[in-house]
Amino acid sequence: MKKLIIASTSTVHGGNYLEYILPVLKNHFSGVSTVLFIPYAQPGGISYDDYTTIVRKSFDTIGITVQGIHEFENPIKALEESEGIFTGGGNTFLLVTKLYENDVMQTLKNVVENGTPYLGSSAGSNITGLTMKTTNDMPIIYPTSFQTLGFLPFNLNPHYLDPDMQSKHMGETRETRIKEFHTLNCEPVLGLREGSWLEVTGEKIILKGTLTARWFRQNQKPIELEPSTDLGLI
């Protein structure tokens, strides 16, 4: 049975890395002594080692050890033997490219579907949807495919932003970009605001946090989903 936490972001309101969601993660990874971290998204070009160090410090506070997947000679075996998995944020194009290049996309899908608890934030959340086509990231590299893990029956847009009515900015809003996506694609899209997350248990997909989320379907007006909504029933 799938068991996932899919977070819009790793840090909110100037807090420490993962601080806002650590109590949730302590329960999510209950019984897990070591989490395998996937640093492939490299936010700001940070090295795998430095990124893993940041994650390690946060997980230390809840008594869980972190090992980077890059520290293993065989990443497939590392995934297959992992107790829990965390894929961090950064650039989704880079993350997906490296998952395919290292031939671990399918293994990651298999182990999570078989019950290994998974945490994703930002780019690591993007890949839990049907495709990565609704990421906000710049296409700094060309991945083998836009198809991702498909743990959710829709796509995600983490860090979803509402239009600022006081701003003089005349460019595209996030909603406009998702509407553009729907001129060529039919997958539903969830706009997940900062500080919100999804808790997936089997086929249940519960919106968590204090904020609503924005739900987009092709040729339909977007709607607001209240916290505790089960998106598996929509």
Q: How far is the C-alpha of 128 from the C-alpha of 107, rounded, in Å?
A: 14
Mean local confidence (pLDDT), 129-143? 98
Among residues 122, 125, 182, 196, the one annotated as catalytic is 122
Q: Which helix (H) or strand (E) holds 149?
A: none
Number of CB atoms found within 10 A of residue 123's CB: 27
CATH 3.40.50.880 corresponds to the domain 3-233: yes
Number of CB atoms found within 10 A of residue 206's CB: 15
Per-residue pLDDT, 168: 62
Give the distance, in angstroms, between the CA of residue 185 and the centroid of all CA atoms in the same chain: 21
Give the pLDDT confidence of 73-100 residue by residue, as tens digits. Answer: 999 999 999 999 999 999 999 999 999 9
The residue type of 139 is P
Among residues 10, 137, 182, 196, the one annotated as catalytic is 137
- pTM given for the model: 0.95
The residue type of 18 is L
Give the pLDDT confidence of 159-215 residue by residue, as tens digits. Answer: 999 876 666 665 679 999 999 999 999 999 999 999 999 999 999 999 999 999 999
Burial label, 176 (beta-carbon count in 10 A; 0-12, 13-18, 19+)? exposed
The length of the chain in residues reads 234
The model's confidence at residue 14, banded by pLDDT at 50, 70 and 90, is confident
Share of the chain above pLDDT 70, in %: 97
Report yes or no: 72 and 37 within 8 Å, Cβ to Cβ.
no
Q: Which residues contact 211 (CB under 8 A, 6 or more apart)?
A: 193, 194, 195, 196, 227
Per-residue pLDDT, 15: 83
Q: Does 122 participate in catalysis according to the annotation?
A: yes
Q: Does 182 participate in catalysis according to the annotation?
A: no
Give the pLDDT confidence of 15-44 residue by residue, as tens digits. Answer: 899 999 999 999 999 999 999 999 999 999
Per-residue pLDDT, 104: 98
Q: Does 28 participate in catalysis according to the annotation?
A: no
Per-residue pLDDT, 67: 98
Q: Where are the domains of the chain?
A: 3-233
Q: How far is the C-alpha of 129 from the C-alpha of 121, rounded, in Å?
A: 12
